[in-house]
Amino acid sequence: MFALLHLKHAFNGSDEGFVECRGETPTWQFFSGQAYLELRRPCDAATLIKFRQLLGEECAEELLAQTINWLLLSS
């Protein structure tokens, strides 16, 4: 779920639009941990919204910042 949230944030898309198009994008699926292409949606938009609300904006932003920092340090 965090990978989905990260991709949605990176591409600044709506929950509904992102969930719909993620099923058609193999690169995003690979980033999200999928081993093979799956054409169905990973979840509905309401689930992504609930996950973000459970994390809270501050926690979600902190996790995104730490991911970016880790990527910068590892390259």
What sign for the dihedral angle of Cα 13, 14, 19, 24? negative
In total, the chain counts a number of residues equal to 75
Residue (of 7, 14, 18) closest to 41 by Cα position: 18
The whole-chain average pLDDT of the chain stands at 81
For residue range 38-70, what is the model confidence (pLDDT) as tens digits? 887 778 888 888 888 888 888 888 888 888 888
What confidence score (pLDDT) does residue 38 get? 81
For residue range 4-16, what is the model confidence (pLDDT) as tens digits? 777 877 888 788 8
